[in-house]
């Protein structure tokens, strides 16, 4: 009895532990989802704010907003492309590592541009704009290079797979249409055979032998109803075969001695 109670207690503890673990995992996943949604919303608001500043504020402040917007858009697009491609192509892990190092420089530049937005000295800000513009171009160019290289690699693999698949389909289609394959033409179709040449030579040498038979002569006036006959030909089939009656008359059946005579019908 004590063993049964111990087993039930152990099962209860295991079920309670599994339930607690599942609850913690669910709460963590929900929290991460909420944090991700908040981060995405904050990022969207910042992007719209930067876009509005780039159009509304003239001078250095507007250019700073344009640089930040360009930097953030390029880095985010490269990050999404690499993370989506590395799941299918593990050789891109090194590219992801390089992008993480580049992302550190991008974050540093973005923070610097954000601080300079509230800089009151517009003259000093204008002097620093060329250097900031050059750094932004270098970082965005590197990020775009990584992104397009990943795109080209994926497209190359897709093209190679499509070429291989097309070749296999063409081969299978040819095997299915095996009866339509062109047959090798014999040499006799290109050059006339010796028998054909000899026959044509004999025909040219003796044209009288190959001439068709002459037409039959017209019948005499008294034999207008007689049919025309070809010379040296057999008679027509109508003259050779006798006329048969349509119905053959019944023959007299012989009477044998073992047959009984027919009994006359009774009149009673």
Q: Along the 268 residues of the chain, how does pLDDT read in single tens digits?
A: 677 788 878 888 888 788 888 888 787 777 777 766 777 677 777 767 777 777 767 778 788 888 989 999 999 999 999 998 888 888 888 999 999 999 999 999 999 988 888 888 888 888 889 999 999 999 999 999 999 999 998 888 888 888 899 999 999 988 888 786 555 554 444 454 444 444 454 444 444 445 556 655 656 655 544 555 555 544 444 455 555 555 555 555 665 555 555 555 555 4
What Cα–Cα distance (Å) separates residue 117 from each residue in 44, 107, 112, 124? 19, 16, 9, 12
Classify burial at 57, counting beta carbons within 10 Å of its beta carbon; exposed 0-12, middle 13-18, buried 19 or more. middle
Tokens of 78: 């490269």
**Of 156, 165, 155, 154, the residue nearest 88 (C-alpha):** 154
- Name the residue among 56, 72, 50 with its Cα closest to residue 117: 50
**Cα gap 72→169, rounded to integer Å:** 45
């Amino acid at each position: 009895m004590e063993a049964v109670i111990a087993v039930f207690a152990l099962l209860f503890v295991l079920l309670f532990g599994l339930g607690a673990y599942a609850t913690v995992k669910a709460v963590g996943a929900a929290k991460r989802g909420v944090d991700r949604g908040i981060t995405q919303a904050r990022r969207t608001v910042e992007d719209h704010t930067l876009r509005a500043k780039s159009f509304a504020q003239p001078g250095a402040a507007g250019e700073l907003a344009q640089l930040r917007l360009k930097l953030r858009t390029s880095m985010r697009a490269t990050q999404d492309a690499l993370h989506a491609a590395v799941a299918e192509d593990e050789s891109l892990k090194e590219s992801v590592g390089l992008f993480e190092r580049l992302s550190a420089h991008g974050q540093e530049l973005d923070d610097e541009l954000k601080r300079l937005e509230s800089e009151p000295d517009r003259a000093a800000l204008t002097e620093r704009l060329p250097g900031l513009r050059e750094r932004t171009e270098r970082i965005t160019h590197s990020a775009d290079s990584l992104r397009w290289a990943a795109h080209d690699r994926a497209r190359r693999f897709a093209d190679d797979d499509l070429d291989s698949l097309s070749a296999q389909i063409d081969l299978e289609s040819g095997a299915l249409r095996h009866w339509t394959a062109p047959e090798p033409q014999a040499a006799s179709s290109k050059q006339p055979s010796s028998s054909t040449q000899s026959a044509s030579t004999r025909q040219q040498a003796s044209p009288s032998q190959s001439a068709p038979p002459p037409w039959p002569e017209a019948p005499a006036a008294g034999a207008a109803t007689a049919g025309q006959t070809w010379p040296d030909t057999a008679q027509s089939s109508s003259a050779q075969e006798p006329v048969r009656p349509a119905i053959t008359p019944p023959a007299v059946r012989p009477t044998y001695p073992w047959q009984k005579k027919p009994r006359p019908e009774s009149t009673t």
